[in-house]
Each structure stands twice: as C-alpha cells, then as structure tokens.
Amino acid sequence: MRTLAVVVGVVGHLVALVWFAASGLVAPAWGVVVLLAVWVVLAVALWRLARRRSGWSAGIPVIDAAFWLAFIQAGAAIFGWTA
C-alpha cells in the first residue's frame, strides 16, 4: 500500500509540473519562477518521503494543487493577473 502512495505522489507531482510551468499564461515571469522553486522544494520533500516509503507521499500533489490555486488567486486579487 505504501508503494502505491509513493507512485501516486510521484505521478501527481509530475502532472503538477505542467500546471506550474504553464502558469506563465496568467502570472508574470517572476511568479512562474516562484512557482517552480516551490515545485522543486516539494520534489525534494517527496523524494525524502519516498525513500522512507511513507504513505504521506500521496499528499504532495494535494499540497501542489492547494499552493498553485492559492498563489494564482492571490496574484489575481493583489496584482490583477488575468489570462
């Protein structure tokens, strides 16, 4: 079961990379750099969890989605980012 959690975490995190990288359609360049830096930090956290075969690995894509949505919404509200 833990191996499945790791696989789900890795696949979900890789899928999130597409969203983070494509955010340049909405966010300015510095915003995409921040998003990609956070993605890398979460990748390191996922790697450390995966090495221990932790069930918490499956939570990383949830954090990806929550952070991405909050960051884009905050940018739209504060800086007026639009597509």
- Tens of pLDDT, residue by residue over 15-60, are 999 999 999 999 999 999 999 999 999 999 999 999 999 999 999 9
Question: Whole-angstrom Cα distance, residue 82 to residue 64?
Answer: 21
Q: Is the pTM of this model over 0.75?
A: yes
Expressed as residue numbers, the domain containing 30 is 2-79
What is the domain count for the chain? 1
pLDDT of 11 reads 96
pLDDT for 4 equals 92
Q: In b/e form, how buried is each residue of 11-38, taking b as 16+ CB within 10 angstroms?
A: ebbeebeeebeebeeebeeebbebbeeb
- Sign of torsion over alpha carbons 24, 80, 35, 18: negative
> Torsion angle of alpha carbons 82, 39, 69, 61, nearest 10°?
150
Give the torsion sign (CA, 61, 67, 72, 76): positive
| Model confidence at 61: pLDDT above 90 | yes
